[in-house]
Chains A and B, each alone.
Chain A
Amino acid sequence: MSYALIVAEVRKGIFEERNLDSAGFASLLQKETVLLIPEGPYEIPPITERVLKVPVEEATFLNPLFMSTLIQKVTELKGKPDAVIFTSSSSGTELASYSAGKLGLPLITDLSAYDKERAVFFKSYYSDKIFGEFKVKGEGQFIATVRSGSFKEFAVTKIPATEAMEAVAAGGERTFLGYVEEEKGEIDITKAEFLLSVGRGIGSKDEIADYEELAGILRAVLSGSRPVIDKMWLPKVRQVGTSGKTVKPKVYLAMGISGAFQHIAGMKDSECIIAVNKDPEAPIFQYAHFGIVSDVHKVRDKLKDIVRG
């Protein structure tokens, strides 16, 4: 059987929306599509022709030691999948790399596009400044992780045929102990209508006070991209991005943010995005509605001067 195996990502009983991207990419391969998913009360949209349910908890399913064994089991039952597809998430990336190592298959992570005529995979390099066109060698089988938002189309609309798998032994050297929720902060940036967000480009922690002042006089809420939070210039509750908060304000003013994909994913649905960056090639300009190529500090100081009259 020639098929593409899509490994579903589920968290806290929810079928993650990014699985649709995996299905979208799988549909380009023009093979039968099979969704591998742990048993549970998930609402599974009709995105594949078949569903294979595995009798384990989601945390076990998402353990890479278990997953690589599970894929081997699926291979014994159904034959080698032509493609094993994961989401390009924290867990998808972890599962894909370990499985690729165990199964000895070619791996393309963070897949952004696919040319089906030439069987060429497009993958980002240097924070989206360059794409590599990759080909897989050998018999054409591969493992991929699919970047969220990159593949939207899929044709399957009928209810898939569902099959239950027998249990597979879980890898005991890694044990899930529980989820840890982020502490609630004093500010909820997801509620703000106007976010002034700062990035690595502002240079140092010493600059934060001046941007805070600008946010104050513009009546915006100050937020930041990952590097700013990592360097502890702002608290974690102010982080915009996949590992922080997803925001949709009326206006998102990004200052000194180059536009790593993980950041873009957290703010791309803002009503109006204005980006200020000294690098005219910064990826954020591709997503912004308005752009200013300039030194961010000069823009900051000039805005203050004008507002204060």
Chain B
Amino acid sequence: MNLLVFTKRVPATQEEEVRIIDDGKGIDLAKIPFKVNDWDNYSVEEAVRIAEKTEGTVTAISMGDRESDEVLRRAIAMGAHNGSLLQLTEPLHDPSQRAAIACNFIKKENIPFDLIFTGVQSEDDQFAAMGGILAAKLDLPYVSMVIGIDEIEKEYVIVRRELEGGLQEKIRVSLPAILAIQSGINEPRYVSIMGVRKASKVERKVYEAEVYNDAPRLIEVERWVYPPKKGGARMLAGELDAVCKDLLGILKEKGVYQ
């Protein structure tokens, strides 16, 4: 079985301050470390596991700047057989353009596939749209929020997708298809620095993404702003001992701790 898996390099902003610059025209990411998008890590792991079971091939594809080679090397260290970088000269904020590039790349380069994996969303733009638009453009069935792959046959897969409140639905999908993988579907394997270094020896192809972009821009970012502040918390400040005593006082006042 041939599997394609999209993997994206994103800024790790979880515990970092993200600053808007140039009067809202830009975001300063210079001091922020980058990493593989969390959901894509699960996708790569799932693709590698299926390839191991079916004696298949995993091709990792990344769309981004030259530095995105880093996530391809990581995917190869996890078990992907090869990698392709669709190199962008500037960030693309419209998911329809990203999907168009991916679609045209797969078609024009005759990349064989039975299953395409994307992460449910990427941590930076949170669009959660790449898999769906790509599936529509390639005229393939699509399932997102896939939290379990229960059966894999030549013609179809049976998957579970996550809904709200702990509910899941079971779905049968004909192949070829696109699945957007939810986090928690598996436990991604550990990748050592040595493993990533070794992966550097596997050839990764680089393509100019713009060559495959035939889609007009459908949405445009006017500017970046900070979200409006809500009421906000009353901050407990001071020495740690005093802060923790304040916290215990609140618990007592609320009647949950004596």
Contacts and interface: CB of A to CB of B under 8 A. Distances in A.
Nearest to B172: A175
A19 to B, nearest CB: 13
A100 B133 contact: yes
Interface in B37-93: 38, 42, 93
Chain B binding surface SS class:
mixed
B137 interface: yes
Contacts of B160: 180
Interface residues of A, number: 108
Given A101-B133, A126-B11, A137 B226 contact: no
A281 interface: yes
Interface in B130-179: 130-137, 141-145, 158, 160-174, 177
A302 B240 contact: yes
B224 A131 contact: yes
A307 interface: yes
Given A291-B236, A298-B240, A134 B126 contact: no
A291 B124 CA distance: 26
A178 B226 CA distance: 42
Interface in B103-139: 123-137
A200 interface: yes
A64 B132 contact: yes
A106 B183 contact: no
The size bracket of the interface on B is 35 or more
B236 A100 contact: no
B252 to A, nearest CB: 10
Interface string B215-258: 01111111111111111111111001101110110110011110
A114 interface: no
B93 A91 contact: no
Contacts, number: 300
Given A110-B128, A180-B169, A286-B230, A138 B183 contact: no
B187 interface: yes
B244 A303 contact: yes
Interface in B11-42: 11, 13-18, 20, 24, 27, 38, 42
A256 to B, nearest CB: 10
Contacts of A179: 167-170
A294 interface: yes
A117 to B, nearest CB: 13
Contacts of B133: 97-98, 100-101, 107
Interface of B: 11, 13-18, 20, 24, 27, 38, 42, 93-96, 99, 123-137, 141-145, 158, 160-174, 177, 180, 183-184, 187, 216-237, 240-241, 243-245, 247-248, 250-251, 254-257
Given A90-B144, A289-B234, 8 more contacts: A97-B131, A104-B96, A126-B18, A127-B13, A127-B14, A129-B18, A130-B18, A227-B38
6 contacts: A107-B95, A124-B126, A126-B124, A132-B125, A251-B254, A275-B233
